Amino acid sequence: MSMKTERLQVLIEVEQRQRLERVAAGRGVSLGVLVRDALDVVYPAGSDRRATAAAAILAAAPMAVPQPEELGQELEELRGRRG
Q: What is the DSSP string of 18-59?
A: HHHHHHHHHHT--HHHHHHHHHHHHS-TTHHHHHHHHHHHHH
For the chain, give the mean pLDDT.
89
Residue boundaries of the structural domains of the chain: 12-60
The pLDDT of 3-18, averaged and rounded, is: 94
Separation of alpha carbons 70 and 12, rounded Å: 56
What global pTM score does this model have?
A: 0.55
Residue 76, pLDDT > 70, answer yes
